[in-house]
A and B are shown apart, each in its own frame.
Chain A
């Protein structure tokens, strides 16, 4: 059974640009969550999607957005990139909003220069 797939694995962007990250959940998983991981702040929740609807949102500015498609695949977008957005972005999927645990992907390492 394939795990959570995130693309791309690495990304370098310039300050002010925008970026789109992709996540394919485990087959049959309907809930997808996104997290930002940095050395200073640790793992912080960005948002959760279930059945194509955003169900929960963390404390991040509006530059961070996401969406989920009918096949449960999800994308997150960061506009007007700042140096502080450099982080590992992790996607996690669950069969049903975390009731059976979340499985994480290996993440996308975003570097903003």
Chain B
């Protein structure tokens, strides 16, 4: 019930391409879905987040697509750059509980 399943585990994309990372959840009580980016030696940094009353949110090259009926959400990185190479985590939480349930992460490599 509390799991968030993330795929793929690793992803290699050419510079300028689109990176797509998918997540699925089971608990319909989740009401906040953030994506985090983590570079080696650093803590996760909030990239973009969405709430279930919205189907899509875009911030620069990053877009979250949210499908409430399928209980899935995905991160799209447009025009991927070598500087985007990092590990990406999806997460979910119930606002009143103050904790994040994370996916296992996707290691993205963008080749020049």
Mark A residues whose CB is within 8 Å of B: 4, 31, 33, 35, 42-45, 48, 50, 55-56, 58, 90, 92, 94, 97-99, 101-107
Contact = CB atoms under 8 A, between A and B. Distances in A.
B49 interface: yes
Contact of A58 (B34, B41, B46, B99): B99
Given A35-B100, A98-B100, A99-B32, 15 more contacts: A31-B98, A33-B98, A33-B100, A35-B102, A42-B103, A42-B104, A45-B99, A45-B101, A55-B98, A92-B43, A98-B93, A99-B95, A104-B36, A104-B45, A106-B41
Contacts of A58: 99
Which 3 residue pairs across A and B have the least CB separation, nearest first? A104-B43, A97-B98, A43-B102
Nearest to A88: B43
A107 B98 contact: no
Contacts of A104: 36, 43-45
Interface of B: 32, 34, 36, 41-46, 49, 89, 91, 93, 95-105
B98 A98 contact: yes
A42 B102 contact: yes
